[in-house]
Amino acid sequence: MSKRDYYEILGVQKNASEADLKKSFRRLAMKYHPDRNPDNAEAEAKFKEAKEAYEILNDPQKRAAYDQFGHAGVDPSTGGFSRGGGAQGGFGDIFEDIFGDIFGGARGGRGSGGANRAYRGSDLQYNLELTLEEAVFGTTTDIRVPSMQTCDTCNGSGAKPGTHPQTCPTCHGNGQVRIQQGFFAIQQTCPHCHGTGKIISDPCPDCHGQGRKEKQKTLSVRIPAGVDNGDRVRLAGEGEAGVNGGPAGDLYVQVFVKAHALFQRDGDNLYCEVPIRFTTAALGGELEVPTLDGNKISLKIPAETQTGKQFRLRSKGVKSVRSATVGDLICKVEVETPVNLTKRQRELLEELDVSMHAGGKKHSPQEHGWLDKAKDFVKDLFEGEK
């Protein structure tokens, strides 16, 4: 039976790079490997076919011979290359590289840098609640943060003072062990030392062999003016301590702004609702409106102001931490209906009501405009049913 083309088997073009070959073979190996397909003869055959194709095409000399003479150029029975050598080293080295990726072996983790590799400590997050004033104008506050820090008793070694960690006898300090599985070998984390390469027979009584211990530390945090919900302040090196002398992680202080009694923030602008008497809305007047910095500003209400009208006070809002300009304070007036009326007040309102009815649309154009639209709607509805 004639053999299939090696490039066709791997699903690559003839000009495929070494990286393309490896990527394609890894995909096929993951799909057809016997360990993933037990008792599946077809999958096993496809795996062996892909393995043979990759072995030839990954070797520059064998690949050149195959490109020129086809299968005859690499078939030992016809004088072609034997499978024992090649410029790329032994076949086991090639597959150790690939299957290390597939099965989580030597590539990555502790094994890539040795058992005693230094690791950066974890980053931490602290949620800080601020008032709107603190967020807008900035503040400095102290926070207490629990984190894993280097143990003072053992100086991070994990061993009892006066003793030292011993080299792991299983992996000989490498942190990984080599496991032979059929025709290839993979590396896995040492089950004895869990990848550290060390055995602590007499652990530190304070950190119990971890080399780190949870501690509370107090930090002073400066919050810049203009921060908003979700903003973060980074404190470099204030996270958890590193492992094996690695650098500490960072602490991120995330801002949450509490609701304010008067103001709501949207970007650089502040909003507030201002209730006014209906007489002020009708006749006009002047109000004093507080600003976030504790001052007051005069707000002129023109006559015949309707509820919901907004007044913009320039540069009385927020200067964001990301902006060079100051936003505005936007006041929305809400006309308040009077309550708890005296007899005389009720009489005056009734007289006003009679007078306004006599004026028709002149005094309440919105009301009459709405009533006219409602009448037209009902009229059209009935005419459409006829």
- Cite the annotated binding site by residue number: 151, 154, 168, 171, 190, 193, 204, 207
Name residues whose C-beta falls within 8 Å of residue 19's C-beta, 6 or more positions apart in sequence: none
As a residue count, the chain comes to 386
Q: Look at residues 12, 221, 37, 47 and name the one whose alpha carbon lies nearest to residue 124.
A: 221
CA 78 from chain centre, in angstroms, equals 59
Question: Which residues lie across from 232 on neighbouring strands?
Answer: 254
Q: Decide if 239 contacts 251 (C-beta within 8 A).
A: yes
Question: Which residues lie across from 276 on neighbouring strands?
Answer: 335
Would you put residue 312 in left (φ > 0), alpha (ψ -120 to 50) or beta? Answer: beta
Token match 């690791």: residue?
119
In a 3-state reduction of DSSP, which class is residue 89? coil
Residues flagged as binding site for Zn(2+): 151, 154, 168, 171, 190, 193, 204, 207
DSSP class per residue in 143-205: EEEEEEEE-TTTTTS-BPTT---EE-TTTTTSSEEEEEETTEEEEEE-TTTTTSSEE-SSB-T
User: Which two tokens mark 369?
Assistant: 């405009």
Cα–Cα distance between 49 and 43 in angstroms, integer?
10
CA distances from 78 to 62, 65, 70, 71, 359 (A): 14, 12, 12, 9, 114
Cα–Cα distance between 331 and 342 in angstroms, integer?
31
In a 3-state reduction of DSSP, which class is residue 102? helix
Cα–Cα distance between 381 and 225 in angstroms, integer?
59
Strand spans (E) along 198-309 = 198-199, 212-223, 232-235, 251-257, 264-266, 269-277, 285-290, 296-301
